[in-house]
């Protein structure tokens, strides 16, 4: 049985308001991916993760906890839990995911940083100021908390002199590029996804990939931000053969991710439908959003190989000296 | 069955510029394409709001929060209704009026 949306939304938006993220995570967890990359702090152009990839293992834990609570007698205690969470960060008691759970997501971020470097893009990183964008709270209609967060992010950009932001995932791209300008006057930041930036560059090919894959477009990239051709161009240049679905590009089908926080079981049902479509076309699916990846992987139960696009690009263009954490 | 009508509900829900639920022509393309198969959203629900039927809206919070906001319906909408933004505004209204505290 799903937990009351009122309390889940309350806890997540209180966290954003009080602790700067829907699921507060340590600065170490946010910035670990950048260890050893020697990225300069701040600068006019920065790579901004918005914590999306780093949050995935924590979101998975939250969803498991919600499913367990929903089936237990404790389900009725979410109201008091919401009030208590304002004083004590209850989400911290979910525990920290193991290193292995975080490694895959960190690797995506390192892939992106290295690909940008190989393409000759100069950029810095904001480290502890790489704040969550508020994407989930925005979807849940917690507008006051989202506006407050947008103002925080803008202050960070101003303090570091940031004028150009390169984003890694569709949700942060949409928030920073399309939502924040509606919330903040004199925003003035140019936002582009790393896929858009890389698509304009010539990357040297070191090891072309001969895989046949099906591309799962993110709803947010395809229908909110019109990022459709860029991932296809990048994969084709890397040697990958893309087998297209009928429901691709602007007509892509959702992975179910937006329902995870309130109705996890409905989310799985949507993801299973999508997995079936993808499996009929190719045994390997490429994602470009951490939420899509985790949902499709979970729903496929191992019957479909689901990989982030950066893994293919890094394999084709990356170098062996790339440091591992 | 009597229905309580609250004039001005639509203005309170959709106060922001660009929210255009009243452009909905009630054609049903959105319902036909919805990956969740939600029959209520958006056209019937938008109609409830436009008619000021707040009780009906509140009864349907699960449907309102079950929308994926994926915009697949918007791609085919002949009225160019900003469906996802209108649904988000409904969520904001429910949070502020019914879920606060």
Q: How many helices (H) and strands (E) does chain A have?
A: 15, 8
**What is the phi-psi region of residue A135: left when phi exceeds 0, alpha when psi lies from -120 to 50, beta otherwise?**
alpha
Paired tokens of B46: 């938008």
> Class for domain A212-317, per CATH?
alpha beta
Mean of the pLDDT values across residues A55-78?
Answer: 84
Cα separation, A215 vs A227, in Å, equals 13
* Sheet bearing A124-125, strands edge to edge: A124-125, A45-48, A164-167, A190-193
Whether B94 sits inside 8 A of A141 (CB atoms) is yes
**pTM exceeds 0.90 for this model:** yes
Beta strands in chain A (DSSP E): 45-48, 124-125, 164-167, 190-193, 212-215, 241-242, 284-287, 305-308
Report pLDDT for A321: 52
In this prediction, residue A325 has a pLDDT band, given cuts at 50, 70 and 90, of very low
Residues on chain A touching B94 (C-beta within 8 angstroms):
141
A134 in reach of chain B (CB within 8 A):
no
Among candidates A132, A130, A178, A315, which has minimal Cα distance to A234?
A315
A140 in reach of chain B (CB within 8 A):
yes
- Complex ipTM value: 0.92
Domain ranges of chain B: 27-97
**A265-277 pLDDT per residue, tens:** 999 999 999 999 9
Say yes or no to pLDDT of A112 above 90. yes
Beta strands in A140-228 (DSSP E): 164-167, 190-193, 212-215
Domain ranges of chain A: 212-317
Residues on chain A touching B36 (C-beta within 8 angstroms):
266, 270
Mean of the pLDDT values across residues A143-161?
Answer: 97
């Amino acid at each position: 049985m799903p937990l009351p949306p009122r309390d889940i939304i309350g806890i997540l938006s209180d966290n954003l308001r009080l602790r700067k993220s829907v699921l507060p995570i340590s600065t170490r967890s946010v910035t670990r991916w950048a260890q050893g990359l020697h990225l300069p702090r701040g600068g006019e152009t920065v790579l901004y993760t918005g914590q999306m990839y780093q949050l995935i293992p924590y979101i998975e834990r939250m969803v498991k906890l919600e499913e367990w609570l929903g089936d237990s007698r404790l389900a009725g205690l979410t109201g008091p839990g919401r009030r208590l969470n304002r004083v004590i960060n209850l989400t911290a008691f979910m525990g920290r995911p193991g290193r292995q759970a975080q490694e895959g997501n960190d690797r995506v971020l390192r892939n992106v940083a290295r690909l940008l470097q190989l393409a000759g893009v100069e950029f810095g990183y904001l480290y502890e100021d790489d704040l969550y964008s508020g994407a989930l709270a925005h979807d849940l209609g917690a507008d006051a908390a989202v506006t407050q967060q947008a103002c925080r992010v803008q202050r960070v950009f101003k303090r570091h002199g940031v004028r150009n932001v390169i984003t890694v995932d569709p949700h942060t791209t949409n928030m920073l590029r399309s939502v924040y300008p509606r919330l903040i006057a004199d925003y003035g930041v140019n936002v582009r996804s790393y896929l858009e930036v890389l698509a304009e560059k010539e990357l040297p090919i070191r090891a072309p990939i001969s895989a046949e894959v099906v591309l799962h477009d993110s709803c947010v990239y395809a229908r909110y931000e019109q990022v459709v051709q860029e991932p296809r161009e990048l994969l084709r240049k890397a040697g990958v053969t893309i087998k297209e679905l009928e429901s691709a590009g602007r007509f892509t089908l959702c992975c179910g991710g937006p329902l995870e926080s309130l109705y996890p079981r409905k989310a799985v049902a949507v993801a299973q439908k999508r997995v079936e479509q993808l499996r009929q076309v190719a045994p390997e699916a490429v994602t470009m959003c951490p939420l899509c990846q985790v949902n499709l992987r979970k729903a496929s139960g191992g019957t479909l190989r689901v990989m982030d696009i950066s893994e293919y690009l890094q394999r084709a263009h990356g170098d062996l000296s790339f440091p591992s954490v | 069955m009597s229905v309580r009508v609250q004039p001005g509900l639509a203005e309170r829900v959709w106060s922001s510029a660009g929210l255009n639920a009243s452009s909905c022509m009630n054609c049903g393309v959105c319902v036909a394409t919805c990956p969740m198969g939600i029959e209520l959203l958006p056209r019937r629900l938008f109609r409830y709001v436009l008619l000021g039927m707040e009780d009906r809206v509140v009864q349907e919070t699960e449907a309102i929060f079950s929308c994926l906001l994926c915009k697949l319906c918007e791609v085919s909408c002949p009225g160019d209704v900003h469906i996802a933004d209108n649904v988000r505004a409904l969520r904001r209204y429910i949070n502020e009026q019914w879920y606060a505290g």
